[in-house]
Every structure is written in structure tokens, then in C-alpha cells.
Amino acid sequence: MTLIIGVGCFGAAAVAFAVLALARYRVYRVYGISMLPALDNGQAVLVRKKTRGIAVGQLVVFDGDGLPYVDCESGSQCFPKEFSGTAVKRVVDIRVENGGIVFEVLGDNRAASIDSRNFGVISFERVIGVVVGRTGLHGASSQK
């Protein structure tokens, strides 16, 4: 009887730990090649939900829905567009603007990235979290 209660308590503790972990961490999948070579298309990343300890050099996932940007085709014609979805980029600068913390973010693969060069800085409120881990499995762009 004691063993069953012990296992039951252990199971409850495991469930409680899982719930707390899910509240603090989330898995996202990388789409596109803007973060090559650090992150590959299709790779999964583990994200710790937003904390105050974001530093230059870290990878952040942010909500880009509605961010206006300019898309230029070969530098000749430019069109206004709106970013949609979430994105992962590297923080290259942190500063205060208009009383709030903002981040300048860039893709590691600059030639294939839509980032702060296009849409400007992102606010602290848009940051979902910091990448703290990644799968070793890579997606389609690394397959031969």
C-alpha cells in the first residue's frame, strides 16, 4: 500500500513538474533559411518564455504579426508588406526608445532574412522568449 501511495505521489509530482515546465517553456519550429548556419529550416527550438535577462547575441522568438516592412526586389522595386507569424532572430542591440526596451534583431543569413533592417526594432512586448535549446535534427535545407 505504501508503495502505491509513493508511486501515486511521484506521479502527481511528475505531472505538476510537467505543467510548470509547459508554462515556462515551449517548442517552436524554424521555417526558412534566414538563421543558417545556426538554425536550419525545419529544426525545432526550445524557448524559455520571456524573461528580463535577454542579452545581445541571444536568439529570440517574437510575434511579428502586423509589423510593416518594405520588400525590395533586387533593389529596384519596393513594396510595403506586413510581417505575419512568429520568427526567430539574433539580438544585435538593446536600447530604450520612447520609455520602452526595444531590440534590434538580425538573421544570421543576412541575404535571406527579413529583420530589423526591414521592419525596425521590436518591442519587449513582442518577444515571446529566448532560445535555450535546439534539436540535433535538421530540416530540408541540409538534406542532400
CATH code for the domain in which residue 56 is found: 2.10.109.10
For residues 80-89, give the mean pLDDT: 95
pLDDT grade for 143, boundaries at 50, 70 and 90: very low
Domain count, the chain: 1
Looking at the domain assignment, is residue 34 inside a domain?
yes
Q: Which helix (H) or strand (E) holds 13?
A: helix 2-24
Looking at the domain assignment, is residue 64 inside a domain?
yes
Looking at the domain assignment, is residue 11 inside a domain?
no
So what's the pLDDT on residue 18? 57
Does 111 or 9 have the greater pLDDT score? 111
Distance CA 3, CA 9 (A): 10
- Which range of residues forms the domain containing residue 85? 27-142
Distance CA 103, CA 137 (A): 29
Does 7 or 102 have the greater pLDDT score? 102
Task: Note if the bond before 37 is cis, omega within 30 degrees.
Answer: yes
What does the DSSP assignment read for 30-69?
--SSTTTTTS-TT-EEEEEE--S---TT-EEEEE-TT-EE
pLDDT in tens, 16-46: 555 556 689 999 999 999 999 999 999 999 9
So what's the pLDDT on residue 136? 78
Looking at the domain assignment, is residue 15 inside a domain?
no
Does 135 or 20 have the greater pLDDT score? 135
109 with 34: CB under 8 angstroms? Answer: yes
Specify burial of residue 88 (Cβ count, 10 A radius: 0-12, 13-18, 19+).
buried
So what's the pLDDT on residue 52? 74
Record the cell numbers describing residue 68, joined without a space. Answer: 510593416
So what's the pLDDT on residue 72? 79
Partners of residue 3 on adjacent β-strands: none
Does 123 or 22 have the greater pLDDT score? 123
* Mean pLDDT of all residues belonging to the chain: 85
Residues 60, 119, 67, 110, Cα dihedral to 10°:
-50
So what's the pLDDT on residue 15? 60
Record the cell numbers describing residue 134, joined without a space. Answer: 535546439
